[in-house]
Amino acid sequence: MHNYSKSNVGQVWKPDKLRHIKVMIVIGVFFLFGWGGIDFSTLALAQGNEPSDNCVACHTNQEKLQSLVNEDEVSPTLNIFSGDLPPLETWEKYFIPDVGVLGMHNVRGCVNCHAGVGGTDDFTEAHTDLIKSPSATPIESCGDCHPKITDVTGSSSHFNVAGMTNALTARGANLANPNMFRAFDGKFNADCGQCHVSRPDSMGGGLIKGHEFFINTPEDMVCESCHGSVVVAEYKGQNEGVLPDVHWSQAEMDCNSCHKIGEMHGDGQTYTNSRESVLNCTDCHDLTDSDVEQHQIHEEVACQVCHSAGAYTNCSGCHVSDEEGMTLDSMQLDFKIGLNANPTEKHPWTYQLVRHVPVTTDTFAAYGNNLLPDFDNVPTWKGTSPHNIQKITPQNETCGNCHSEPDLFLQPKDIAQAEVTSNAKVVVSRLPKMAGELGQAEAASIVHPLEGYSNCTSCHQVGVPNPIPHTLKNMSDCFFCHQNGIGAPKFPGGHNDFAVDDCQLCHELAEDAKEIPVNPTATPDVEITPIVPETTTIRYKLSEDEMASVECYECHQTEVEEWAMSNHSVAAKNENFLQVWEKEEYFGECLRCHTTGYDKDSGEYAFANVDCVACHNNLVEGHGENDDTTMSIPVDQSVCIDCHEFTHNEWRIGAHAENNINCINCHERHKPDTRLPKEKLCITCHSDIEDNFTHNTHQTTDCIDCHMPHPDTSIGQIGGTGAVGHSLFVGTETCANCHDEEAHLSREVVATQAAPPEATQVAIEILEDQANLESRVTLLQNSVVSSLGVGLGIGGFLGAVIILGIMTWTGHKED
């Protein structure tokens, strides 16, 4: 305390000085009581709060509590605890072993907070109008001392459980309905006291430590009482064989590291659900300038999709109790990749992890009929954020682990029949395409087609530059690595310099394969039949009436008749399309490209099939009257890309795109044909290659037989979502279309596989003869070039000697 001189006695103290003195007095009293060992309960009694004495006398007496508590009337609702927090006996919930733990809060006395009747030893009378949890009205109970907190408590997701109330309201629940109120009220939210004094009521309630008031309540006493049996066990790696979350194992980050105090107390802003109030991964991990390719091309994917290490181990037990007559699904915390039904600024992504919420149409049937009349308004698979994050997970080890694994995604088969409508916006009806199939080739730097390759990380490790030494393991295509841009040794790319020796760098013939003859001759009675896939183009001829129904027919009859022979004219009734559409359960999005004017909201369209309007747009007023009303469209790929996305992305990674050769350079505008027959089209630009090609043993085939092989047409997705070879990429599977794939046996296979059957061996011999012939043609051509070079060199040398001799002789003669 300050020592004031006599000269100060008569002065008038200013308000701020008076406040300073009050503060110092309060601090002094606290120190006096704390250091002097004075019990706050004594102060309460001194102030006339005698009811505290009556309450304390009972709640500190274990035997009396046990005799008074009716186990049938007061029982825990749920007992799902973890770690060092086991369930409490009913009497334990109200037992105060040491009155000293009450601290300064006892100054107010028990009755001032809990009400009831003081001054009586009668149990029933003492508990008349008792307020079990005063902090259920935080402003009245805690606001005098903590106004800044209680003023915003109403915005706390723990207090208002907005996520649950909003979901129930959206499902048609009337929370003012007495039946609904009885089913819902007080069972799920947590107020001040349920974190700082007791366990939450939803987890059975009970004092944490004899009514001690915790400023910073230990997480294992509060957070884990609600979230422990599943979340904490997984987060801290308490389950056998499960690694702890990297945030715990590497940084020992506790709950408060991500769940800030504003989320618990509220921050004045009302959120639609609790996920909107928590931190995002990107709040700590700034990916703006990330050099990890996977981050760049997965911007529409929530972080947890790739970095969550699968389903929780101890998944059941949270919502299987039906003590109050509730009908609830068993809580199985399986995570699926689903669509984000409600994108927000904070959660803008398309794909996120979802889990099933254990709610059904009759969840509250015990409290009344039809309490959720609009059940289908909210998905039963909701967005979630598992607490089992790892850097490397089964999803991101390889591209194919995710893109080729349908079971990772929420599919129609995962949805209960009664919940199909409610989850329509969440279910993933088809696997997402890989980067090369989307419009993101710039970011992905794709240099080869992706179809058929599931083992991407054989060449591309996650987050590091591309080249990796080639192993024969899991390679479905030699050219997957031996091609431009990958880093492995290149195979010759020309049409006249591919020799069998190139193959034998990595491959060898079967042990009993015959030697390649020096002068190969045709083997009698043996014919190799090329394996050529069936044609994929099914052409139709529309009737006159069908053509006349097209708006443009009256003025553009020739163009419409040409169009009528194309697949565009029958896009909605093409046999392949109808088969696939049925298989896809009539997925509405298909009609965007197979009809004209499709409205995804109403499901209606203007014209079945793809007519003029689809490319030229609606008729311009005054069309044909002047140049300003023409309806021409760009002569590039921009029009075609909307529907032929797969084809467009094949084209983008090929040589044609590099040289600005686009759709219209090869394809007719309205007809189904190319501008020239296929055998003549390519050589208009590639005449230099034609000379080599026509002398090659493949001269009976056309360019597109190798450069644009069509896959199995049974998939019925050619052009729009299937491969058509517009990358012009030649790979091993191309050769297999005509040649028996067993003609090329890898070293690994040769070591374990028996010699091929005799019939196949004969085919191998013939193929080897052909390969040898190609090799000899190449050697002969190279020999001609070499001989010419040697001849020119010798001739030049002799000429120089002769000229020098003449000059020398002439010089001597002049002398």
Which residue intervals of 293-430 are DSSP H helices?
293-297, 303-307, 399-403
pLDDT band at 379 (very low <50, low <70, confident <90, very high): very high
The whole-angstrom separation of Cα 410 and Cα 383 is 12
pLDDT digits (tens, 9 = 90+) for 442-460: 223 344 444 444 444 444 4
> Does residue 212 sit within a domain?
yes
- Give the long-range contacts of residues 587-590, CB within 8 A, separation 24 or more: 587/429, 587/430
Let me know if residue 645 belongs to a domain. Answer: no
- Percent of the chain residues topping a pLDDT of 90: 5
User: So what's the pLDDT on residue 337?
Assistant: 93
CB 277 within 8 Å of CB 157: yes
Q: With a cut of 50, say whether residue 503 has pLDDT above it.
A: no
Span between the terminal Cα atoms of the chain, in Å: 128
| Residue 142 belongs to a domain | yes
Decide if 115 is inside a domain: yes
| Rounded Cα distance, 190 and 161, in Å | 8
Q: pLDDT band for position 376 (50/70/90)?
A: very high
Asked if residue 736 lies in contact with residue 531, where contact means CB atoms within 8 angstroms, the answer is yes
pLDDT at 290 > cutoff 50: yes
Of the ranges 46-55, 553-562, 740-749, 796-805, which one carries the lowest mean pLDDT score? Answer: 740-749
* Predicted confidence band of residue 467 (pLDDT cuts 50, 70, 90): very low
Section 358-371 average pLDDT: 84
Question: Which region among 316-320, 364-368, 755-759 has the lowest average model confidence (pLDDT)?
Answer: 755-759
The band of 15, judged by pLDDT with boundaries at 50, 70 and 90, is very low
**Residue type present at position 140:** E
Range of lowest pLDDT (88-97, 251-260, 625-634, 729-738)? 729-738
pLDDT interval class at 380 (50, 70, 90): very high
Range of the domain at 96: 13-149+165-219
Q: Please enumerate in sequence order all residues whose Cβ is within 8 A of that of 478, keeping only pairs 6 or more positions apart, or say none.
A: 491, 506, 731, 732
Residue 682 CA: distances (Å) to CA of 485, 666, 730, 738: 24, 9, 15, 21
CA 444 vs CA 259, 437, 653, 676, 729: distances in Å? 35, 10, 11, 34, 18
145 assigned to some structural domain:
yes
How buried is residue 522: exposed, middle or buried, by Cβ count under 10 Å (0-12/13-18/19+)?
exposed
Exposure string over 473-506, b if 16+ CB within 10 A, otherwise e? eebebbbbbbbeebebeeeeeebbbbbbebbeee
pTM of the model: 0.48
Query: Could you report the per-residue pLDDT of 245-289, keeping only the tens digit for each?
Result: 999 988 888 888 888 887 888 888 878 777 787 888 888 888 877
The yes-or-no verdict on residue 504 having pLDDT over 50 is no
- Give the residues across from 383 on adjacent strands: 354
List, for residues 569-615, the tens digit of each pLDDT value: 888 887 778 887 887 777 788 888 888 888 888 888 888 888 888 88
- C-alpha distance from residue 281 to each of 156, 307, 388, 613 (Å): 21, 11, 13, 45
Read off φ and ψ for residue 355, nearest 5 degrees.
Answer: -135, 160
What proportion of the chain, given as a percentage, has pLDDT over 70? Answer: 61
Pairing of strands 336-339, 607-608: unpaired
Question: Which residues make Cβ contacts (< 8 Å) with residue 324, sequence separation at least 6?
Answer: 77, 183, 366
Q: What is the pLDDT of residue 333?
A: 60
Most confident of 310-314, 373-377, 544-548, 604-608: 373-377
Q: What is the mean pLDDT of residues 301-309?
A: 91
Cα of 57 vs its chain's centroid, Å:
59
Tell me the pLDDT band of 423, cut-offs 50, 70 and 90: very high
Tell me if 208 is assigned to some domain.
Answer: yes
Q: How far apart are alpha carbons 368 and 100 in whole angstroms?
A: 47
* 501 within domain boundaries: no
Tally the C-alpha atoms within 13 A of residue 10's C-alpha that lie toward its C-beta. 1
Count of structural domains, the chain: 1
Q: What is the pLDDT of residue 813?
A: 52
* 273 contact partners, CB below 8 Å, separation of at least 6: 157, 162, 163, 166, 167
Q: What is the pLDDT of residue 556?
A: 85
Task: Please name the residue that has the structure tokens 């998939």.
Answer: 715
Residue 113 lies in a domain: yes
What letter would DSSP give residue 327? -
